Amino acid sequence: MAAPIIETCHVACCANRTPNVLSWGRGGLIAYGTCHSVALYDPQVIYLFHNFNNSCRCSIVPILACGGDDCRIHLYAQCNGQFRKVLSLQGHEDWIRGVEWAYGDLLLASCAQDCLIRVWRLVAKSRTKRNVQDERTIRMTEDVFTLTQNDASSAFAVTLESVLAGHENKVYGVHWQPPVIKGGDQHQSLSLLSASMDKTMILWAQEEGSGVWVEQVRVGEVGGNTLGFYGCQMSPDGSMILAHAFHGALHLWTQSHGKEGEWSPGVVISGHFNAVQDLSWDPEGEFILSVGSDQTTRLLTPWKRKDQTQPTWHEISRPQIHGYDMQCLAMVGRFQYVSGADEKVLRVFRAPRNFVENFANISGTPLAKLLASSDTVDQPEGASTPALGLSNKAVFQGDLAPKTNEEEGTGFNSVSDQYQESYFHPLTLNEPPPEDHLLQNTLWPEVQKLYGHGFEMFCLASDSGRMVVASACKASKAEHAAVLLWSATSWRQLQALPCHSLTVTQMAFSPNGLFLLAVSRDRTWSLWRRDDPMGIYCACVCLPRPEPHFSLYTSTRKDTAVHTRIIWSCDWSADNKYFVTSSRDKKVIVWGDCSSSEASVTPDEPPVIRPCSSILDVGDSATAVSFCPILCPGNSYLLAVGLESGQVLLYKWERIEEPAGASDWTRYGETDSSQSHSLTVKRLRWRPRAGRAGQGGEEEGRGEGSSWVQLASAGADHSVKIFNINRLAV
């Protein structure tokens, strides 16, 4: 059997922000809705299997319970093949948010926005006459209904068994412990799980002897600027409980072995809860940073466990939690990045020491190696966000020491003294942190703000030498469409590069840092060349490196442009010879050879860069494109193309002097329906080195790792996907 070309390595996605969107099956798999898809994963191995872009149907019990916004529970019974309404149960004082039947005893649990849970019992009612003794017995109020099936009538009664008051906010989910098969019969433990917007889950059970429902276990999230839980589920054996939160995060607790009543947080997958706009690998290819419209920046890395040969990907840090939708980011070195959002300001972040230490523990990378690659001088321990603030404030070791009464004083000197700003607590992690720690203790400090743009940020790019950052904002006029260049050392503005008349949609530096490519909504591209190319190779430590300066090398105009619609994406080949553009007009074009043209730049005769490939029609709007940094056999190039439909296509391109009928393009592979995004592909990024992150044998030419490369994709369907690509497969 031929080796697979595309394997799904990981899918980072969270649950939809809607009640009761998650179910735990008897086989152990968890299914939950994520955007337009259904995701399946096994919490035992913490691995997402697939996401299916299809709707699902639920099977119906002969008695159906429905909760309404009229504060009533409506019962429907199947009679002669038809469901008809038989009863309405009153008692809740606000919208009903969840109902569920127990499998064994006919118990119905309901929860509502009135913060209460009610347990109802359904029994068959005897038609025998009650005697005098029965009349004197105190009975609960019964709601009775009659069913007629094949000329036979049966009476049933519903009574309120218990009212459970323990939550302090709206209760959105209730779930009975699933039944188990013992001796060929089905048995169910009467254990009830509830989830509330008060950020807690409660496990209820009947007390032995009295039969009174009491609280057994309470778990939940402490701190963080989030709302509570939208639903809950229990594992088939009752050893794990799971909740999904308002922001889509999954919260798992596992019962400690041999310690009844003790539960500890477990590791689960996570992801953005809105469109993912951009992502980037770190220069070493060991982790991925992504930004999204959910106003967060998230860091994913493989978790290498001693008892597992296969690493699993997890979010281990949330460097930025913002007040604006995030749009773009660019890595500047290994532990520093610049981000842009729906604001006019760029923000620079640098990893704190606590993150570097925990990253070493989780990824298995030696700490000394990581500290050598980062600026450890005056490195803060972590970061926190002040009340009503957007900037992450650095927290140093001295800030963590408790203050004495004399230092604190007896009163408040200012308004800010009334609010505690240092919420950060250093952690020592050997496994990925739970959601509450991600929210509070994994922020990166903000080290710089960059001002200069007049509108919201749209795209960013940085060169491989960590010298220059290019930025562009939304623009409807030429005066706002200029690209700004920033020094990555002093963070001052170097240049403004005016050329385009509308928004620059994406930019890319050539791998050697000599060229900067920009593509625009005005259907043209511009190529900028560094004026002092020798400054790139300046390695003298005695002299300061010269600040780069770029000039317009060449560009296309509306009358000479090949693309007829907006150009969405661009990228460079690893050998600096060619660049590729993709557009809404469904065309993908390779341009060059840029390395063969050494003509001087003059206003009268700018160099001409022409298409060097045939025009590839991919059949849909090409929203993302990326060159693989590792060449394929025969010195051919591997490209990934992302479509508006969500599919990712792989092509081989080989330079042919006179290609006829797109003979220079070869379709290499494509994602199937379960691998593709369900909405637009926003960004594609290849891992900068061969091999699979978190596994051995990654050196080029050694072991299995040399035949595999990894591709990360960001989608409008809220997901980040990582694919393993076998570049040597036929």
DSSP secondary structure, 237-264, as one string: TSSEEEEEETTS-EEEEEEPTT-TT-EE
Question: In percent, how much of the chain has pLDDT > 70?
Answer: 85
**The two structure tokens encoding residue 633:** 């056999």
**The two structure tokens encoding residue 132:** 């005098």
pLDDT at 704: 44
pLDDT average, residue stretch 590-596: 86
pLDDT average, residue stretch 407-425: 56
Cα 610 to Cα 386, 511, 594, distances in angstroms: 52, 20, 10
Task: Render 453-473 in DSSP notation, one character per residue.
Answer: -SS-EEEEEE-TTS-EEEEEE
pLDDT at 126: 67
* CA–CA separation, 566 and 621 (whole Å): 10
Task: Render 92-124 in DSSP notation, one character per residue.
Answer: -SS-EEEEEE-SSS-EEEEEETTSEEEEEEEEE
Q: How many CA atoms lie within 13 A of 409 on its CB side?
A: 6
**123 alpha carbon, distance to own chain's centre:** 47
The three-class DSSP label of residue 362 is helix
| Beta sheet of 622-627, edge-to-edge order | 622-627, 637-643, 648-653, 665-670
The band of 589, judged by pLDDT with boundaries at 50, 70 and 90, is very high
* CA–CA separation, 415 and 412 (whole Å): 7
Residue 251 has pLDDT above 70, yes or no: yes
**Between these two residues, 445 and 126, which has the higher pLDDT value?**
445
**Between these two residues, 546 and 269, which has the higher pLDDT value?**
269
The band of 128, judged by pLDDT with boundaries at 50, 70 and 90, is very low
**The two structure tokens encoding residue 201:** 């889950």
pLDDT at 426: 87
Amino acid at position 309, single letter: T
Q: In this predicted model, what pLDDT tens digit does every residue of 612-642 receive, in sequence order?
A: 999 999 999 999 999 999 988 778 999 999 9
pLDDT average, residue stretch 175-182: 83
Amino acid at position 198, single letter: D
* CA–CA separation, 462 and 331 (whole Å): 7
Q: Which string of b and e fits 577-596 if b means at least 16 CB within 10 Å?
A: bbbbbbbbbbbbbbbbbbee
* CA–CA separation, 576 and 510 (whole Å): 6
Burial of 7 (0-12, 13-18, 19+ CB in 10 A): middle
**The two structure tokens encoding residue 249:** 């995060």
- Tokens 């065309």, residue located: 587
pLDDT average, residue stretch 65-87: 88
Residue 152 has pLDDT above 80, yes or no: no
What DSSP designation does 584 have?
A: T
pLDDT at 537: 58
**Which of 411, 409, 416 lies closest to 386, judged by CA?**
416
**Which of 192, 198, 204 lies closest to 227, judged by CA?**
198
Residue 535 has pLDDT above 80, yes or no: no
Q: In this predicted model, what pLDDT tens digit does every residue of 378-401 receive, in sequence order?
A: 789 888 887 767 788 888 887 776
Determine how many CB atoms are found less than 10 A away from the CB of residue 464.
Answer: 14
pLDDT at 163: 95
The band of 253, judged by pLDDT with boundaries at 50, 70 and 90, is very high
Determine how many CB atoms are found less than 10 A away from the CB of residue 376.
Answer: 11
Question: Quick check: 613 and 589 in contact, CB under 8 A?
Answer: yes
> Going from the N-terminus, what domains does the chain have, and what CATH number goes with each?
13-126+142-266 (2.130.10), 276-397+422-447 (no CATH), 480-595+607-697+704-726 (2.130.10.10)
pLDDT at 642: 98
Of 57-71, 222-236, 305-319, least confident by mean pLDDT is 57-71
Residue 724 has pLDDT above 50, yes or no: yes
Of 67-71, 632-636, 641-645, least confident by mean pLDDT is 632-636
Average pLDDT, the chain: 86
Residue 38 has pLDDT above 90, yes or no: yes
Residue 703 has pLDDT above 50, yes or no: no
Q: In this predicted model, what pLDDT tens digit does every residue of 661-687 receive, in sequence order?
A: 768 999 989 999 999 999 999 999 999
Q: Say how many residues make up the chain.
A: 730
Beta strand spans in 573-705 (E): 579-583, 587-591, 616-617, 622-627, 637-643, 648-653, 665-670, 681-686
pLDDT at 681: 98
Residue 83 has pLDDT above 50, yes or no: yes
Residue 193 has pLDDT above 80, yes or no: yes
Burial of 382 (0-12, 13-18, 19+ CB in 10 A): buried
Question: Quick check: 708 and 687 in contact, CB under 8 A?
Answer: no
**Which of 9, 6, 5 lies closest to 50, judged by CA?**
9
Q: What torsion do the CA atoms of 408, 414, 416, 421 make, to the nearest 10 degrees?
A: -20
* CA–CA separation, 622 and 185 (whole Å): 56
Beta strand spans in 312-467 (E): 312-321, 326-331, 336-341, 345-350, 382-384, 393-395, 446-451, 457-462
Using the Cα atoms of residue 256, residue 259, residue 261 and residue 262 in order, give the sign of their dihedral: negative
Of 167-171, 340-344, 484-488, 657-661, least confident by mean pLDDT is 657-661
pLDDT average, residue stretch 367-377: 77
Residue 207 has pLDDT above 50, yes or no: yes
**Which of 70, 62, 72 lies closest to 99, judged by CA?**
72
**Between these two residues, 685 and 414, which has the higher pLDDT value?**
685
pLDDT at 4: 75
**Between these two residues, 645 and 151, which has the higher pLDDT value?**
645
pLDDT average, residue stretch 249-266: 86
pLDDT at 402: 64
* CA–CA separation, 632 and 726 (whole Å): 10
pLDDT at 702: 46
* CA–CA separation, 91 and 228 (whole Å): 24
Please enumerate in sequence order all residues whose Cβ is within 8 A of that of 152, keeping only pairs 6 or more positions apart, or say none: none
Amino acid at position 257, single letter: H
Cα 152 to Cα 79, 82, 147, 181, distances in angstroms: 11, 16, 8, 33
The band of 236, judged by pLDDT with boundaries at 50, 70 and 90, is confident
The band of 544, judged by pLDDT with boundaries at 50, 70 and 90, is low
Residue 133: strand pairing partners: none
